[in-house]
Amino acid sequence: MIAAPAVPEVLPPPSLYAQLLGPDWQRLPPRVRQLHSEGLAHGRFHVRRAPGLLAALMGWLLRLPPAGEDVPTRLVVRREGATWFWERAFGGHALVTSQHVWPGELLAERLGAVACVFRLRVEGQGLHYEQVGAWVCLGGWSLRLPRLLAPRIEAEALDAPEGMRVHVRIGAPLLGRLLSYEGWVCPEENP
């Protein structure tokens, strides 16, 4: 009897973040790498919204979560082809963004028609997002937003004893701070 030839193991494509960070991916703590790959996580966050009617209107238009302290949070990271979806649930409020590679080996994160583009940096025990611009994207067409109109996002994800600490601040030059959320997430076992 002749044995069938061995079928080579097919490895899934690397995480979007592994692709963009290259060798720096291995410098991240294991838990930070795990939480930037496909999977489930849970945690607790403090969500702060800016006061004022205009900020409330922008928060509603962008579908941003309401303010709350110690909000139970769930994160699902999943991939469909070359696009990665980050599905966050702050209490009962969903905030879903899509992520993909942007020209220049940058990360684009899209909410609705707006894509914010980041350069990723590994520093110390975490990952830092340096925003380099924002675009309005409709179909295959995109238009860079001038700084005066572009949303501004600052974000970092750091390894910590309770899980991965996350700090995100979202604002706009004409409106100031719109939302910030900070807290931690821990990976869950996939069902």
The residue with greater pLDDT, 4 or 98, is: 98
Note the pLDDT tens digit of each residue in 99-147: 999 999 999 999 989 999 999 999 999 999 999 999 999 988 999 999 9
Nearest Cα residue to 45 out of 188, 187, 186, 181: 181
Confidence of residue 2 (pLDDT cuts 50, 70, 90): low
32, 77 contact by CB (below 8 A): no
Note the pLDDT of residue 191: 47
Model confidence at 7: pLDDT above 60: no
Query: Structure tokens of 117?
Result: 């583009």
Cβ(56)–Cβ(80) below 8 Å: no
pLDDT digits (tens, 9 = 90+) for 167-186: 999 998 888 888 999 999 99
Q: Which domains does the chain have, with CATH numbers?
A: 16-188 (2.40.128)
> Given a cut of 80, is residue 187 above it in pLDDT?
yes
Q: 4 pLDDT band (50/70/90 cuts)?
A: low
Residue 12 has pLDDT above 60, yes or no: no
pLDDT digits (tens, 9 = 90+) for 43-101: 999 999 988 888 888 888 778 899 999 999 999 999 999 999 999 999 999 999 999 99
Burial annotation 52-87 (CB, 10 A radius, 16+ → b, else e): eeebeebbeebebbebbeebebbbebeeeeeebebe
Residue owning tokens 């302290």: 69
Report the C-alpha gap between 62 and 170 in whole angstroms: 11
Each residue of 140-157: b (16+ CB within 10 Å) or e? eeeeebeeeebbbbebbb
Q: Is the pLDDT of residue 11 over 80?
A: no
DSSP-assigned states of every residue in 12-68:
PPPPHHHHHHGGGGGGS-HHHHHHTSSEEEEEEEEEEE--SHHHHHHHHHTTPPPPE
